[in-house]
Amino acid sequence: MADFIADPDFQFILRVLNTNIDGRKKVMFALTSIQGIGRRLSNLLCKKAEIDMNKRAGELTPEEVERLLTILKNPRQFKIPDWFLNRQRDLKDGKTSQIYSNGLIAKLREDLEGLKKIRAHRGLRHYWCLKVRGQHTKTSGRGFHINPIGKAK
């Protein structure tokens, strides 16, 4: 397994944005293990940071990792288009941004709580633990029933 490794500075596990990244994978695919970063965005990040995509993640220097992080934290400064980002026209502040890792999970939870609070159809379906996107419920999805929080048995 370690046949391709010749560099003594090779890191098998990188810690980036509170996520462990497998150093044996190629950079483009290793970045996708961070929540909120897909293949297309990781491809674009590697191109903007001028990193060879055939390079393994464990071979990255700290400067290259820092370059990737600065591009990820300020995507608009590096001319990444708005439609590429995963948070467009946020409900609270109206800004477009890229959210990743723990921030993505928190925003998702916040959005669902907002839908439940305004009693929107989607929010109520989430609250009742039913299908949200228009699927049929007569015959499918019968096995997994959870009582909603706050509802007595």
pLDDT, tens digit, 9 for 90 and up, residues 99-149: 888 888 888 898 889 989 999 999 988 888 888 888 888 888 776 666 666
Alpha-helix residue ranges (DSSP H) falling in 24-146: 27-30, 39-48, 62-73, 102-117, 121-127
Q: Residue 13 pLDDT more than 90? A: no
| Structure confidence at residue 147 (pLDDT) | 65
Domain ranges of the chain: 13-84, 107-133
Q: Residue 1 pLDDT more than 60? A: no
Half-sphere exposure of 67 (CA within 13 A, CB side): 14
pLDDT, tens digit, 9 for 90 and up, residues 79-103: 888 888 888 888 788 888 888 888 8
CATH of segment(s) 13-84: 1.10.8.50
Residue 13 has what DSSP assignment?
E
| Structure confidence at residue 39 (pLDDT) | 92
Inter-residue contact 100 to 72 (CB < 8 Å): yes
| Structure confidence at residue 119 (pLDDT) | 92
Q: For the chain, what is the mean pLDDT?
A: 84
| Structure confidence at residue 30 (pLDDT) | 92
| Structure confidence at residue 4 (pLDDT) | 59
Cα–Cα distance for residue pair 97/82, rounded to 1 Å: 8
